[in-house]
Structure 1
């Protein structure tokens, strides 16, 4: 009997061991099945340990139970993984926690996941999962935490979740969920967090939501929820956060509102349709950190006592109808002086009246945003405002303030933006303004300020925009102001009483886009140094007393689009170089110009040019209705004198003989030189195009056909009979590098063909009709402009938005071109000057890399053509690799660096030379912030954030592209990617995101 008992126990033990072995093998097979569906784009990651060399319990990211050696945890968070989630995950029946967040997984969440009946936490947020939330999860009766935020999920929140009696957290924000908030959720009495903001949820807030007594976080912002806040919601006394922003809610807040939430820290009601008065009980939200009431219809006098809200950091009620016009209605600010943590106070666009009291200076020393613009405030700006020493953003514009700007403003040395425009301020601009060394935007426009412009503005060395228009300022413009070279957006001194000459230091504003000094009393000549303002697009000098002629140096202001010199005392002939500028508006009216008016460029369109009030002008296009220019009459007696006739004829014959002999000698010499130049070019035949054909194709190189200008010449559009539309780059041979550039580009482009490279038609080297040397490159015309104009369009340029998919395609095109140049050409080609202006887009938005004027050929046995000593630092500032500045030779890795900068510029919309990039902070540092926290919307170009693809998928695409850009811009060349890998990675991103 005892024997049989021992035998029975032994059999049971064998059965347990066998069962455990089988179950362990199930986990092993399931993990390998999961691995087979996962892609690691960077290789060599965590999943490399998932192999047969060790037990699966020792694999990275896997944790097993000590007793049964079954998988209890899979943690693959933030590893850059992609692929899909295998249905085999449902066989890991001991799994308690599955963490896959912050990767780029896609596809549907498998229904088999409902078999994980021990599962407690499922974290899949920040991926690209699609499809519906599986209702099968309701079988996971131990589930406590579901987090699916930042994906592409659709459909409704499953009603079946009501059976999950242990569930504490449902987090599904930033998806595409529809339907309403399920009433069945109210049965989950254990629920503490329900976060579903930024979906497409509609309907009303269920009344029985008030049954969730344990709820501490309710987030429904950014949906389509309507109706009123149900009264049952006021039973949720444990709430820490109530976020209802960006919905269609309406109604009034009951008087007892603030008494019902003793633990509330965050209240967000902005961007709804709430009405009525803000209840005084708001002052009883003693734990409040953030209160936002903006963009509603709240009205009446604000009488809330905020003094008990000692933790308050952010208070905003902008864009309402608050205010009664009472003289003391800003008294509520006194109660805010007790809020020592306050950082942001914004009440812009309301109806507040009365005066700004002195105790405003007693507000929190931490406050950095103070916004009261667009109200009806009056009286003086209190000097005590100088006590707010940490203030960075101050706007009091569009009120009725009077009196002077307090000199104490100079104590607020962290100010970056200050707006006091459109008030009734008087007195002088205080010299202490020069203490604001960090200020970048300063608006004092449309006031009654008088006196001179302080020279202390010269200390504001981070100033970007300055607006002093419509005041009573007088005296001369201090040269120190023009020495603030950071001023780049605009400088507006118009409609004052400024006098004296325009300082020559104006030329130091090389980054300035718009300058307006119109309607003053300026005298003297326009300084020639104005041509150094190479970024200037708009120049307004009208309504002054300027004299002399238009400086010849202005012909180099190729970016100028608007020029207004009207109502001055300018004289002389109107220079013909104005025809070549890209002017869309030219006003020369009411001056003293004389002579014949040019006919081309802006002068060819009467809607673009104005010359009224210049009585000595003649000619021009008929629609300008100027008198015809007189024909010069010759002295008949001179020609009818016989002696003079003989003299003229003899001299003419002698002169013609001299000219002919000289011309023959000159042409032979030029022919030899031209032959020598062409001998340096590849021997294969080009399409033969003569100088005369190019002259005819461009209508005599007319300014109306001018489409671009660069360091080595001008680019014209033309039409050749045998080819069609072409772009013709005419070299400026005065530039000593032009011939070298011509030869380099002809050599490179002659024997290479790729869909993403510009196609050269011919290299033309000949003599023009005046016997001058002529060199030109002829390309097939690419119709859609360059990438620079698409990334940074001017304000008056109307073109479709440059979306994320288009940018990704351009990134692939450019990478493909470089990959071809680096690895498929013999010899290898190094571009050396990759930047947006050298990338052209055709009508299908296909990118073509061009401008090979600095390119180098690399022969393995000979090295690189033209060593560093002959050329100096190659490329363009901001795009050139850092090692080039240290004297290193050109390399493929240098092109990779330029490409990386270009890719980051395409994602952020910021040039690498942006003024924000100073003191070691560059576009690489800036863009890398997208990989941490929730900074994508802060870093990326707002245009691509409007993409039609869902947010989670969009963000995954952006993050993956950022990683490539960062990998290309590594400091050490050997750490950078190669272009073959870049092409492959980008194509994988496109395939995964844009199927």
Structure 2
């Protein structure tokens, strides 16, 4: 009986095992894997690169993109790798049915939602990467069931809540990355159970409290990244037990107290040590000099005292030493530590700024490593002169000695530092002239020497610094005139400040080239002449314009084109006349100072003139009117204006006003008459007069297919002509396909976007037509100027015989600059910024001179003031596959940086000749990565560029033989630089992209550097 009972329970146990376990493992077949993959696909709402198109019945699922199957277990899925595929949607719970899965990589996509708890069923999983997505919710507690996990990366998401203590059960884990989320709470002590853990990254969260003492058990730990949190207490004592640490970052927390003198002895293998942004006190540990592997020592923004130990010169591998913003030094001769640092032959970054160092700069500074790139000494009380031998630091890119007590002249030898990009000499006691040799610094981007005693004229040689973005020479004793060639540098885009000097003469006309400059300050000099409206009006990016304290005369200029102006000061001059009305209508103006001039007449009561705290008018005795808070006298016509009779008004009207009225009525009469006539005179089109369907049909030969020059999603474009032969206006007519969903919205978007924008690189809309055709159907069309050379698409990818030649490098670069300039205008210079949403070659049109003009604003959006920078209203997916920014795949709001991405792809296509949808781009390979690989060390740029660019020089063998190697190399360098711009623009992460103002400047500098003025069309 006992035997039968045993058999019964044995059978019962086996049955329960089959019921509860077998369905989840044994009964899950490869068909189950296929269904799980299809369920995964079903929740992917965006696949712009059509990665999952192969996931169909035409192929075995083991051959689907990203899927790898094992050779055992009936070909079960062992790996799913869809890294950086721009996939949007959520992660299907069915992912848990892939029971043989060992590796899952969905990193760098656009996935949202929570991590499904069913992922805990992946008992075989070793590698799980969901980083760089938009996942939210908490870290799933039951991930602890994935007990075979070796690497878990959930970084750069939107995960919240605390770190589950259950993660401590993953005893095989070697890498755990939770970096850059919104996790809260403390660090779980259970993580100490992860005896195999080598890398722990929990930085950039909201973690707090002290490190648990149990962390000392993590003997295998080589890297700990815990910076940018709210951890507190003294330097965590448990960490002193982790002798294998090679990377330690505690930056930007609330740690305090002294570092132990034996600090370096506890970490003999440390290579990277980041402790900045805390509240550490005491001295720098001398024992760190025994850390022979130490490469980066970064302890800025603390309360350290004492000095840099002399023994730090023994750290042979030291590359980076930053102790800025502490209390090191005693304002005495305490820079002797610089001498032994010369032994650190790899040192390229030395920052001792904003401490208490004093005394003269020793000559030994010139003996520092020739690898030295950044030498930052500012914010101390270092005196004496800068030794001429500073030129020995041949790789120096940034020399910052600002806010010290340096005297004497600026060494001529600085002009030998050919790689210098930043030179900060401000707030010292330098005297003498600015060295002419500084013009040799052709890579110089920022030069600040304000608040010194510099004398003489501004050297014209600075005009050679054609990458200069910031130039500040204010508060010196400079004289002479402002060099026109210097202020005409188009690279100047941040600030140009010559204020508080003794400069004379007028404002150079070359100022009109500063179209990207944000701040111009010429105040408090001896400048004369009238303020040129056309010159200053060209500086369309200006936000700050200070011209006060000079001797300018004449009227206040018309600066109506300065749509970005916020701060305008033209006080203390000899200006006369009335206040221009445009100042009252400026929406951006925040502060206006017109005081101490000879202005007269009525003060407006609108705009900034309603805010007495934002406008200054005193010292203009003949001004009147305005709001009562300004306390100005009433204007003569204001006293009894309510009682004026109609007869009196007629009597006091001036003859000039009568003439103006007569001309106005004449113009209106002519305009009414012209509306009755047919569209013969092209001037009528320019006035945006609507045209009829009949006129457009006649102009396009009844919309003949022979006149069709292109078609798109929302309609067809026809060429046409209005008027007789002697006065013909050639046009392009875009006829909307109103049966296509969204075409009406496209029509309205294009009308709205183009209503008030004007730029040489935007196709001009001449008129519109909203009518009915001969059959009574609704008809809508836009009429543009005709671009005779067609689209860029046609030139980059010509059909047989469609073009007579290929575009040269010069022409392509000019086209790239044209398109960039158009986008820079749309994004940053329109009163209401415009986002294009569909940058691609077919929307770039060329005129007879191959000047490029951006067209097709059917998807454009106007900027809405939502409180978030660069955020626009949107609906649906914007743009074209291959060109659309990856973040649009998940319905993210369109943005300026989305246009930047599309522009980057356009650049890469222009210089490689390959479309982003080329069939060679599969799996992880796309146009961006294809070019990026070629730019890496060992890559070959020549192999990937459009070969026609290279062949154009090979057609004449004699020319090839005479062409120097350096000239050919220069072309390759130019192409490399342009491809690097394309890569930077098309970065996957929006935060890594530049704005169009920066891009235009870089392109201009490339053209000047490699092509010179010959490159300008």
1:257–1:281 contact (8 Å) kept in structure 2: yes
Cα 1:246–1:88 shift into 2, 3 Å: same
Residue 356 (structure 1) aligns with: 361
Mapped partners of 1:613, 1:558: distance in 2: 27
Specify whether residues 886 and 364 from structure 1 end up closer, same or farther in structure 2 by C-alpha distance, changes over 3 A only: farther
Q: Using the TM superposition, give the Cα deviation of residue 111 of structure 1 relative to its aligned residue in structure 2, in angstroms.
A: 3.5
Bigger CA radius of gyration:
1
CA contact (8 A) 2:114 2:137 kept: yes
CA distance in 2, matches of 1:667, 1:408: 70
CA separation of 1:519 and 1:156: change in aligned 2, threshold 3 A:
closer
- Is the contact made by 1:565 and 1:588 (CA closer than 8 Å) also made in structure 2? yes
For residue 349 of structure 2, what is the aligned residue in structure 1? 344
Q: Cα 1:612–1:919, aligned 2, differ >3 Å: closer, same or farther?
A: farther
Partner residue of 1:146 out of 135, 141, 152: 152
Give 1:716's aligned residue.
none
Normalised by the size of structure 1, how large is the TM-score? 0.66
Q: In structure 2, what is the equivalent of residue 906 of structure 1?
A: 896
Give the distance between the partners of 1:178 and 1:828, measured in 2 at CA: 45
Query: Where does residue 384 of structure 1 map in the other structure?
Result: 389
3-state DSSP class of the match of 2:822?
Answer: coil
Residues 114 and 402 of structure 1: is their aligned pair in 2 closer, same or farther, counting only changes over 3 Å? same
C-alpha distance after superposition, 1:660-695 (max 9, x if no partner): 9x99999689536414326779xxxxxxxxxxxxxx
Q: What do the CA deviations read for 1:104-155 (whole angstroms, capped 9, x no partner)?
A: 3333334443343333222222233333333333343333222222233333
Is the Cα contact below 8 Å between 1:426 and 1:450 reproduced in 2? yes
Residues 55-134 of structure 1: pairs in structure 2 closer than 5 A: 55-69=60-74, 70-134=76-140
Q: 2:283 matched to 1:277?
A: yes
1:166 and 1:190 in contact (8 A); partners too: yes
Instruction: Indicate whether 1:743 and 2:743 are aligned.
Output: no
Contact kept, 8 Å, 1:822 with 1:892, in 2: the verdict is: no
Whether contact under 8 Å (1:398, 1:421) holds in the other structure is yes
**What's the CA shift string for 1:368-410, capped at 9, x where partnerless?**
3222221222111222222333333332211111111111221
Task: Measure the CA separation in 1 of the matches of 2:412 and 2:71.
Answer: 72
Q: Following TM superposition, by how much is the alpha carbon of 1:431 offset from its aligned partner in structure 2, in angstroms?
A: 0.6
Aligned with 1:865: secondary structure?
Answer: strand
Matched, 1:208 2:214: yes
What corresponds to 1:877 in structure 2?
822
Q: CA deviation at 1:221?
A: 1.6
SS in 2 for 1:305: helix
CA distance in 2, matches of 1:426, 1:823: 70
Q: Structure 2 residue aligned with 1:171, among 177, 192, 203?
A: 177
1:365 has 2:370 as partner? yes
TM-score by length of 2: 0.65
Residue in structure 1 matched with residue 434 of structure 2 by the alignment: 429
8 A contact 1:467–1:492 mirrored in 2: yes
Q: Quick check: 1:39 aligned with 2:37? A: no
1:270-293 CA-to-partner distances (Å, cap 9, x unmatched) read 111111111111222221222211
How far apart are the structure 1 equivalents of 2:670 and 2:83? Answer: 70
Q: 1 CA distance for matches of 2:468 and 2:902? A: 19
How far, CA to CA, are the matches of 1:412 and 1:200 in structure 2? 44
Structure 1 portions without partners, runs of 5+: 1-17, 632-651, 682-734, 749-817, 840-849, 943-995
**Equivalenced residues, count:** 761
* 2:339 alignment partner, one of 329, 334, 341: 334
Contact 1:829/1:856 (8 A) holds in 2: no
Q: Tell me the alpha carbon deviations over residues 467-504 of structure 1, each in whole angstroms, 9 at most, x when there is no partner.
A: 11111112232333232233233322121222344444
Give the distance between the partners of 2:665 and 2:609, measured in 1 at CA: 37
1:939 is matched with which residue? 993
Which of 272, 295, 301 pairs up with 2:301? 295
Change (3 A) 1:206 1:885: same
Q: Which runs of 5+ in 2 are unaligned?
A: 1-22, 638-650, 695-735, 792-817, 827-838, 862-877, 886-892, 908-972, 997-1017
Deviations 1:314-353 (A, max 9, x none): 32222222222230x2222233323333332223322222
CA contact (8 A) 1:453 1:477 kept: yes
Report the Cα offset of residue 430 of structure 1.
0.5
CA distance 1:940–1:201, shift in 2 (3 Å): farther
Secondary structure of residue in 1 paired with 2:243: coil
Structure 1 511/155 Cα, relative in aligned 2: closer, same or farther at 3 Å?
Answer: closer
Instruction: Show the counterpart of 2:970.
Output: none
Pairing partner for 1:415 from 416, 420, 423: 420
3-state DSSP class of the match of 1:255?
A: coil
What is the Cα deviation at residue 253 of structure 1?
0.9
Over aligned residues, Cα RMSD in angstroms?
A: 4.9
Cross-structure match for 2:497: 492
Change (3 A) 1:362 1:96: same
Deviates more, 1:214-223 or 1:133-142: 133-142
Q: Distance in 1 between matches of 2:165 and 2:526?
A: 75
Matches within 5 A, 1:391-790: 391-527=396-532, 530-535=535-540, 536-546=542-552, 548-550=553-555, 562-568=567-573, 570=574, 573-574=577-578, 582=586, 585-591=591-597, 593=598, 596=601, 610=616, 612-613=618-619, 671=669, 673-677=671-675, 740-744=686-690
State the alpha-carbon separation in 1 of the partners of residues 976 and 578 from structure 2.
46
SS of residue paired to 1:425: strand
Conserved? CA contact 2:840–2:903, under 8 Å: no
SS at match of 1:218: strand
Give yes or no for contact 2:161–2:185 (8 Å, CA) kept in 1.
Answer: yes
